[in-house]
Amino acid sequence: MEIVREVRALQASADAARAAGRRIALVPTMGALHDGHIALVAEARRRADLVVVSIFVNPTQFGPGEDFAAYPRPFEADAARCREAGVDLLFAPAPEALYPPGFQTSVEGERVSKPLCGASRPGHFRGVATVVTKLWLAAKPHVSVFGEKDYQQLALLRRLARDLGFDVEVVGVPTLREPDGLALSSRNAFLGPETRAQALVLQRALRAADGAVAAGERDAAALLAGVRRELAKAPLAEVDYAELRDAESLEPAPARLESPTLLALAVRFPAAGGPRAVRLIDNTVLRPPGGREASR
């Protein structure tokens, strides 16, 4: 596995691969890799000849008071996991390689970045869209792979590729879960035993909504009421949001569901041994039987 730290070196490798007729896949990450990331690498390997993983803790997607300085950076362990997973090229730039002195140009989704996580983390998705734009320009991938757990991010990047005409296929990979159903996340390590057990309420709430839709429920208000009743069973849970959105545009869902609809959750739990809360997200796409399928 080759490790590259400069943008021009990555561009040169990408140019050589494309000239040789090789298909390139990019998996952007912020490191602290877990099995969910490795599942993205496996999907990239299925779809391409050259697999590139980026590890970059992106400062522009952290807001005031967020944990940029404390974000884990176990680079040697991450590099070892990439080697084991068959990554061909690891891109690990310093901040100044992507944000040169005087940097002042950003990319932003006008509507898709505003609700859900965007409402409580202003500027976050501007940072995501900007850094992914720069990574796509550097790695020149044919395909770029992301996890569906970060559904809003995935919707934003699909819109980014369409709107700006990037010749890249944006692929989503289903959320990988612990055996008990909790979505894999680097944040899970900050949960104590009690909060870890209560965090399973997210998956229970999603399953309850899926079951209600399968049984014929279409009323959005009734579905959300059921979700909130389930979440209330975890006394340590502080709900950031529980919302129904169009599965493609992320516009608010209609009062009666007739097409694939995203149910998105964000819940905070007390952190183990510290004052900072642990914010977990999860989602499912509700598909009313006989409803209109969204075009993706």
Contact 268, 121 (CB under 8 A): no
Separation of alpha carbons 239 and 211, rounded Å: 21
Closest CA to 280 of 293, 291, 292, 271: 271
Considering 34, 37, 124, 142, which one is annotated as catalytic? 37
Tokens describing residue 234: 């975890």
Q: Which residues contact 62 (CB under 8 A, 6 or more apart)?
A: 68, 71, 124, 127
Tell me whether residue 124 is one of the annotated catalytic residues: no
Separation of alpha carbons 40 and 174, rounded Å: 9
Q: Report which residue type is found at 217.
A: E
Residue with tokens 């993983």: 53
Tokens describing residue 58: 């992106």
Question: Could you list the active site residues?
Answer: 37
